Structure 1
Amino acid sequence: MATLTDPHLSLVRPVTPRTPGGCEECLILGSEWVHLRLCLTCGHVGCCDSSPLRHARAHAFAVGHPIVQSYEPGEDWRWCYVDETFV
């Protein structure tokens, strides 16, 4: 379980969503998504694990940015893909 001393939290930065209108890859592909996640290292917006293409998880492991925040209105939780836990 991630803690406040979890080294992954050191990767969190102030970010601006790169594609505020939706999942970056899905917008290019014309694919649909279920929910969105915001990478807290670079601002990538990706689709969640319930979405067909799971771009947020793919981004996290491809570039080593493990912590995302929900990009859904009214939600502010964070998730670490490496530890598979809320942070």
Structure 2
Amino acid sequence: ETFHVQTDDELTEKELKQIEADDQDIQTILLGLPEGIYVAVDSCETVQEIWLRVQQMMKGSDIGIQEKKVKLFNEWESQNGVGMLL
């Protein structure tokens, strides 16, 4: 099976902007992660892959799903100083 890799010349302006936005989103997420989590998600290529990997790592914890989401959000917020701006 073969596949064709699109070059920048073959992508629409909208597609190029989406790729750039996705790359920026991924970098923002990666920079806010503790090192142990960063290592686990560094090979992910999409935001969705990163989120799924983090969710998988959080399974097995004793805290509830909502508490996990709050804990992850608070960790991200503290790493990025987001809460300080409000």
Fold similarity call, TM over 0.5: no
Larger Rg over CA atoms = 2
Higher relative helix content: 2
Higher relative strand content: 1
